[in-house]
Amino acid sequence: MLPIDVAAHGSRWRRRHPLEKALLGLGLTLTAVALPPWPGGPLVAAATLGLLLGPAGVAGRQLWRAFRVPLSFCLTGALPLLVAVGGPAGPLSPAPDGPRHAVDLLLRTSAASLGVLLFAFTTPVSDVLPRLVRAGVPAPVVDVALVMYRIGFLLLDSTAQVHRAQAARLGHTGRAALWRSLAGLAATSFVRAFDRAARLQEGLAGRGYDGALRVLVPGAALSWRFLAASAALLGALVALTLTLKGMYL
């Protein structure tokens, strides 16, 4: 399993209803996008970090390892705002107000990414997919997503095993050997994917598959106290951001 999935299964909020965490995470994400980037972005990011490291019980090292990936995309998206292409200043020149726009985008996107990570770190995918059928998603679509989610970990494990075997046989000692190992790794993973798919189909047929995968979903009731606290937090962030924004103006 991926580290973020391990953290989600061991989260303190694991037994909470996924809808509660989805509304909180989505609310924080939308708040980060809709509010002024300053001071809205830092306030939403601080509140989300406090929830992740506090009540949710996420380890700081795990959070950083997961957050640095979207953060790199945020930085990559903000850098083009620093330059202007064409115009009287030449084919490439510093953009007017480029640093301000870049910082605004970085504040918004990084805070919004933390809101998404709040849901990911507290809600396993296996708790969400079976409940989508009740929300109106066709059962075959949910079944395919559930199967692909489970088989993906098996393929990742197989790929890691092949990679370690190649390294033990000096398959990474040079550039030519590395390219051969990569080609062999891709070919082996491709063959194993088809083999596992065929075995899965045979197993389902042997168990009388009738078009629906039935899995046990942990019971969870909606906590109106949690929902009210989430709404109060979002309202406080909006009010504090607008108040501080007015003071700066």
The domain spans of the chain are 3-123+219-248, 135-206
Q: Could you tell me the end-to-end alpha-carbon distance of the chain, in angstroms, rounded to an integer?
A: 49
Q: Please give the pLDDT value at position 27.
A: 92
Q: Please give the pLDDT value at position 212.
A: 64
C-alpha triplet 137, 142, 144: angle, nearest 5° = 140
Q: How far apart are CA 150 and CA 159, in angstroms?
A: 15
Q: Please give the pLDDT value at position 9.
A: 79
Tokens of 143: 């079944």
Q: Please give the pLDDT value at position 138.
A: 78
pTM of the model: 0.76
Q: Please give the pLDDT value at position 217.
A: 67
Query: pLDDT of 147-195, one tens digit each?
Result: 777 777 777 777 888 888 878 877 777 778 788 888 888 888 778 777 8
Tokens of 134: 């009740």
Q: Please give the pLDDT value at position 15.
A: 83
Q: Please give the pLDDT value at position 192.
A: 78
Q: Please give the pLDDT value at position 96.
A: 80
55 near 12, Cβ under 8 Å? Answer: yes
Q: Which residues of the chain have pLDDT under 70?
A: 1, 86-87, 89-90, 209-219, 247-249
